[in-house]
Chains A and B, each alone.
Chain A
Amino acid sequence: MIGGIDIVTLIAALMAASTPVLLAATGELVAEKSGVLNLGVEGMMILGAVAGFATAVTTGSPVLGFLGGAVAGALLASLFAVLTQLLLSNQTATGLALTLFGLGLSALFGKGFEGIRPPPTTKLDFGPLSEIPVLGPILFHHDWMVYLSLVLVAATWAFLKYARAGLILRAVGENHDAAHALGYRVIAVRFAALAFGGALAGLGGAYLSLVRVPQWTEGMTAGAGWIALAIVVFASWKPERVLVGAYLFGGITALQLQLQAAGYAIPVHLLSMAPYVITVLVLVILSATHRHGAPAAPAALGRSFHASS
Chain B
Amino acid sequence: MSETLLRIEGLTKAYPGVVANDGVGFQIRPGEVHALLGENGAGKSTLVKMIYGLVKPDAGTMQFQGAPYTPPEPRAARAAGVAMVFQHFSLFEALSVAENVALGMENPPSMRTLSARIRDISSAYGLPLDPTRTVGDLSAGERQRVEIIRCLLQDPKLLIMDEPTSVLTPQEVEILFGTLRKLAAEGTAILYISHKLEEIRALCDGATILRGGKVVASCTPREKSARELAELMVGGEFAATDRAGRKTGAKIFEVTHLNLAPMSAFGPALKDLSFKLAAGEVLGIGGVAGNGQEELIATLSGERPSAAGTVSLHGQDISDLGPNDRRRLGLLAAPEERLGHAAVPNLSLTENAILTGTVRRPLTRNGFLNMGAAKRFAEEIIAGFDVRTPGPQVAARALSGGNLQKFVIGREVLQAPEVLVVNQPTWGVDAAAAAAIRQSLLDLAAKGAAVIVISQDLDELMEISDRFCALNEGRLSAPRPTEGLSMEEIGLMLGGAHGMQEAAV
Task: List the interface of chain A (C-beta within 8 A of B).
Answer: 164, 167-168, 170-171, 174-175, 177-179, 181-184, 294-295, 298-299, 309
Contact = CB atoms under 8 A, between A and B. Distances in A.
B93 A175 contact: yes
24 contacts: A167-B95, A167-B99, A167-B103, A170-B92, A171-B92, A171-B95, A171-B103, A174-B93, A174-B94, A178-B91, A178-B92, A179-B103, A181-B54, A181-B74, A182-B74, A182-B103, A182-B104, A183-B73, A183-B74, A183-B75, A183-B78, A298-B94, A299-B93, A309-B49
Contacts of B75: 183
B73 to A, nearest CB: 5
Number of chain B interface residues as a range: 20 to 34
Nearest to A295: B265
Contacts of B103: 167-168, 171, 179, 182, 184
Nearest to B92: A174
Nearest to A175: B92
B93 A181 contact: no
Interface in B21-44: none
Interface string B78-100: 10000000100111111100010
Given A171-B95, A182-B74, A309 B54 contact: yes
B55 interface: yes
A280 B135 CA distance: 34
A174 B95 contact: yes
Question: Which of A170, A171, A182, A309 is the most central at the interface, judged by chain B CB atoms within 10 Å of its CB?
Answer: A182
Interface of B: 49, 53-55, 73-75, 78, 86, 89-95, 99, 102-104, 108, 265
Given A170-B92, A182-B90, A309-B49, 16 more contacts: A164-B102, A167-B99, A167-B102, A171-B103, A174-B94, A175-B90, A175-B91, A175-B92, A178-B90, A178-B91, A181-B90, A182-B103, A183-B75, A184-B103, A295-B265, A299-B93
B265 A294 contact: yes
Contacts of B92: 170-171, 174-175, 178-179
A27 B204 CA distance: 52
B90 to A, nearest CB: 4
Chain B CB within 10 A, most for which of A183, A184, A298 = A183
Contacts of A170: 92, 94-95
A177 B90 contact: yes
Nearest to A293: B265
A241 B94 CA distance: 19
A167 B93 CA distance: 13
A77 to B, nearest CB: 25
Contacts of A309: 49, 54-55
A171 B86 CA distance: 17
Given A183-B74, A309-B55, A164 B90 contact: no
Contacts of B89: 178
Contacts of A294: 265
Nearest to A178: B90
A309 B54 CA distance: 7
Contacts of A179: 90, 92, 103
A309 B103 CA distance: 21
A164 B53 contact: no
Contacts of B93: 174-175, 299
Nearest to B86: A181
Q: Which 5 A-B pairs have the closest CB atoms?
A: A183-B74, A178-B90, A174-B92, A181-B90, A183-B75
Contacts of A164: 102, 108
A164 B114 CA distance: 13
B107 to A, nearest CB: 9
Q: Which of B75, B90, B91, B94: most chain A CB closer than 10 A?
A: B94
Contacts of B90: 175, 177-179, 181-182
Contacts of B53: 183
Contacts of B108: 164
A178 B91 CA distance: 6
A299 B94 contact: yes
B395 to A, nearest CB: 16
A33 to B, nearest CB: 11
A183 B92 CA distance: 14
Contacts of A168: 103
Contacts of B54: 181, 309
Nearest to A167: B99
A179 B91 CA distance: 8
A171 B265 CA distance: 18
A148 to B, nearest CB: 29
A184 B73 CA distance: 9
A178 B53 CA distance: 14
Nearest to B265: A294
A139 to B, nearest CB: 34
Nearest to A237: B94
A183 B78 CA distance: 10
B153 to A, nearest CB: 14
Nearest to B106: A183
Contacts of B86: 181
Nearest to A292: B261
Nearest to B107: A164
B167 to A, nearest CB: 16
A184 B104 CA distance: 10
Nearest to A162: B111
Contacts of A184: 103
B426 to A, nearest CB: 23
Nearest to A183: B74
B377 to A, nearest CB: 31
A181 B151 CA distance: 14
Nearest to B78: A183
Nearest to A296: B94
Contacts of B78: 183
A52 to B, nearest CB: 36
Nearest to B150: A182
B15 to A, nearest CB: 9
A177 B49 CA distance: 14
A238 B95 CA distance: 14
A170 B93 CA distance: 11
A60 B92 CA distance: 49
A137 B180 CA distance: 67
Nearest to B261: A292
B127 to A, nearest CB: 20
Nearest to B102: A167
A299 B74 CA distance: 23
Nearest to B91: A178
A53 to B, nearest CB: 40
A174 B95 CA distance: 8
B339 to A, nearest CB: 13
Contacts of A181: 54, 74, 86, 90
B309 to A, nearest CB: 24
A245 to B, nearest CB: 21
A89 to B, nearest CB: 16
A299 B103 CA distance: 17
B47 to A, nearest CB: 12
Nearest to A300: B92
Nearest to B111: A162
A179 B265 CA distance: 21
